[in-house]
Chains A and B, each alone.
Chain A
Amino acid sequence: DAEITQSPRHKITETGRQVTLACHQTWNHNNMFWYRQDLGHGLRLIHYSYGVQDTNKGEVSDGYSVSRSNTEDLPLTLESAASSQTSVYFCASRKTRTSGKDGELFFGEGSRLTVL
């Protein structure tokens, strides 16, 4: 079965360190997203990509970067981790660029990041 996987599932790091969260999907979806989930805020969009070599900033992109070198992967990098980036991070993908038939978002299982 096709799926979307994230690694690591749990990570503890120190302020100032670079951290990369991996996201790999086997749906062959062009559209991929990174969200962060915080109490009282729901899910907020960090970055998204419509396809290889395409990346776009979301609502809360400061301090984060992504790259898309192939269809399957969209790694999220925190260049210099800050305590405010302690959160649960979700990767998601969808088949279509817009909502509609086949417009469902498929989520990974989340990565809990703690920055000390």
Chain B
Amino acid sequence: AQTVTQSQPEMSVQEAETVTLSCTYDTSENNYYLFWYKQPPSRQMILVIRQEAYKQQNATENRFSVNFQKAAKSFSLKISDSQLGDTAMYFCAFSPNTGNQFYFGTGTSLTVIP
């Protein structure tokens, strides 16, 4: 069974500082994809970043980057230069390449403090 675990229900960070959100997953698949989605108070789910498991290089998107450790099954999200607009719920998600399903973690609520 595929599971995704986010062990930090809530986090906070000062504006302009850096914060790291943790995610671990469990799978027997070898080819899969990992995602971080952001859900601001508007409820809209927005893709932040994605990582292909076969790529060793960590994905980056502007201020967002990941630390992907395949052997440890860890996929953390680093947000640099945090902004007030980063305040949101963040969901880690896993999707095996062989299937059509996404498996989501329980989310981490991030608050950026001015």
Contact = CB atoms under 8 A, between A and B. Distances in A.
Interface of A: 31, 33, 35, 40-45, 48, 50, 58, 88, 90, 92, 97-100, 103-105, 107, 109-110
Chain B interface size range: 20 to 34
B64 interface: no
Contact of B43 (A42, A45, A100, A109): A109
A98 B107 contact: no
Closest 5 CB pairs of A and B: A107-B45, A99-B33, A42-B104, A99-B95, A43-B104
B43 A31 contact: no
B107 A103 contact: no
B9 to A, nearest CB: 8
A103 B95 CA distance: 9
A104 B49 CA distance: 10
Nearest to A97: B100
Contacts of B100: 31, 48, 50, 97-98
A31 B101 CA distance: 10
A99 B100 CA distance: 7
